[in-house]
């Protein structure tokens, strides 16, 4: 097993950091998860550069990340307009975002971010392009 890990281009995923879900009404979605499943919001933040407001609901050591756009030209607004509400991306936790991103790029994988950048709640993040990842928008998250 360790052999497989050592030969991997990027760093190993240590956790599913979050499952991100795009919604039209953040408060309504939070209330549904709270009332139906007792999930609780542990963080809420507006990320201006991404044009989104997010709420994180804790599930064990992972999060449900509910996202809603704060501007009409944000990527989440375009996603909602074309695909509707639903699963938007998945965040995988890694130990070293810069190291993983570099290794992934060296392996020829197309990335959206060329360098790690600040994410919400003080994380360092980078997105991998879905065209290089079987249609899935993947976020690398370093806590």
Taking the complex as a whole, how short is the minimal distance between the CB of residue 63 and its own copies, in angstroms? 9
71 scored as a contact of its own copies (CB under 8 A): no
Query: E strands along 31-98, which residues?
Result: 41-47, 52-59, 62-69, 86-93
Q: Active-site residue 12, yes or no? A: no
49 scored as a contact of its own copies (CB under 8 A): no
Taking the complex as a whole, how short is the minimal distance between the CB of residue 122 and its own copies, in angstroms? 21
What 3-state DSSP class applies to 29?
Answer: helix
Taking the complex as a whole, how short is the minimal distance between the CB of residue 3 and its own copies, in angstroms? 9
- Distance, in Å, from the CA atom of 76 to the CA atom of 50, rounded to the nearest integer, reads 8
130 contact partners, CB below 8 Å, separation of at least 6: 136, 137, 138
Q: Which stretch binds its own copies (CB under 8 A): 9-17, 43-51, 69-77, 112-120?
A: 9-17
Cβ-count burial of 47 within 10 angstroms (0-12 exposed, 13-18 middle, 19+ buried)?
Answer: middle
Contact 109, 100 (CB under 8 A): no
116 scored as a contact of its own copies (CB under 8 A): no
Any idea which residues carry the catalytic annotation? Answer: 18, 54, 65, 89, 139
Interacting residues toward its own copies by CB under 8 A: 1, 4-16, 19, 21-23, 28-29, 32, 34-40, 59-62, 64, 83-90, 92, 104, 107, 109, 130, 133-137
């Amino acid at each position: 097993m360790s052999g497989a890990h050592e030969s991997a281009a990027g760093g190993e995923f240590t956790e599913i950091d979050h499952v991100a879900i795009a919604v039209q009404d953040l408060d309504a979605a939070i209330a549904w998860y709270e009332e139906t499943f007792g999930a609780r919001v542990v963080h809420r933040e507006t990320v201006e550069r991404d044009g989104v407001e997010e709420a994180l609901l804790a599930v064990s050591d992972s999060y449900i990340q509910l996202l809603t756009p704060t501007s009409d030209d944000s990527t989440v607004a375009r996603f909602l307009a074309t695909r509707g509400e639903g699963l938007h991306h998945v965040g995988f936790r890694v130990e070293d975002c810069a190291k993983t991103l570099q290794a992934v790029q060296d392996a020829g994988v197309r990335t959206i971010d060329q360098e790690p950048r600040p994410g919400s709640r003080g994380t360092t993040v980078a997105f991998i392009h879905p065209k290089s990842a079987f249609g899935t928008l993947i976020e690398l998250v370093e806590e």
